[in-house]
A = this chain, B = another copy of it.
Amino acid sequence: MPSKEVPEIVIGRLPIYLRALTYMGQAGQRITSSQELGETLGMSSAQIRKDLSHFGEFGKQGMGYEISYLRDQLRRILHLERTWPVALVGYGDLGHALANYNGFVAESFEIVAVFDNNPDKIGQEVAGKKVQDSAKLSKVVRERGIKVAIVAVPVAAAQKVVDMLVEAGVKAILNYAPIHVSVPAGIRIQYIDPIAHLQRMMFHLE
């Protein structure tokens, strides 16, 4: 039965389950089980059943889960039945790669605005969008009601950009700048930190 307080760590695994179900569905499969999902994802079946139990009962004893149904439910739970417009701030190499990435839409996101403060970059076109002056960030984000942003600016600019985004109404930020930024309560932030991932693995190497 659904409970009030779902642990963040559980919510963080739902997109992983969703993706595995999508792949299975694309392969023409109709039914799966917690055991099969666990093997596919390298985790225990008990954990998958426990995680799902926070949100409802989606399977049938003896049968497992209907893939399309469970997938629909996870998309509903995660609010992925709509497409979220996203602002991208920072048009360096990384920003360029993100702006060109055409896999966002299938995952419920679409970069609708790109910002940079470098005059050489402002006005450049990427994937049908013109890079805009960061000075217009607040106005554009507010007018379009954008709630989600990706930050791909240098460390020195990250906190200021995040402050501007929050001020303009953004509620969820994906931050690629390798620094901790402060956000008010109620604003979500996630970090992408490949260097930290590489470095932690070196602990185990000679």
Contact A84 B172 (CB under 8 A): no
Interface residues as binary, A12-50 with B (CB distance below 8 Å gives 1, 0 otherwise): 101110111001000000000000000011100000000
Expressed in whole angstroms, the Cα–Cα distance for A206 and B104 within the complex equals 19
Q: Is B203 a contact partner of A148 (Cβ separation < 8 A)?
A: no
A2 is an interface residue with CB less than 8 A from chain B = no
> Given known contacts A42-B182, A172-B205, A202-B80, is B196 in contact with A15 (CB within 8 Å)?
yes
Q: How far is the CA of A63 from the CA of B171 in the complex (A)?
A: 39
Question: Interface-forming stretch among A89-97, A113-121, A131-139?
Answer: A89-97
In the assembled complex, A204 has its CB within 8 A of some CB on chain B: yes
Point out the residues of chain B lying under 8 angstroms from A78, CB to CB: 199-200, 202-203
A128 in the interface (beta carbon within 8 A): no
Query: Would you give the shortest CB distance from A92 to chain B, in whole angstroms?
Result: 8
Q: Are B96 and A172 in contact (CB under 8 A)?
A: no
- The answer to whether B41 and A11 touch across the interface, beta carbons within 8 angstroms, is no
Q: A12–B20 Cα gap in the complex (Å)?
A: 26
Q: What band does the interface of chain A fall in when counting residues whose beta carbon is under 8 Å from B?
A: 35 or more
**A180, B42: Cβ atoms under 8 Å?**
yes
**A 176-192 to B, binary, CB cutoff 8 A, 1 in contact else 0:** 00111010000010111
Q: Is the CB of A93 within 8 A of B103?
A: no
In the assembled complex, A161 has its CB within 8 A of some CB on chain B:
no
* Alpha-carbon distance between A148 and B201 when the two chains are bound, in angstroms: 9
Given A12-B196, A14-B200; 19 other pairs, CB 8 A cutoff? A14-B203, A16-B180, A19-B178, A77-B203, A79-B202, A84-B202, A86-B198, A93-B100, A94-B101, A109-B195, A109-B198, A148-B198, A148-B205, A150-B194, A171-B204, A172-B201, A191-B197, A192-B194, A192-B197
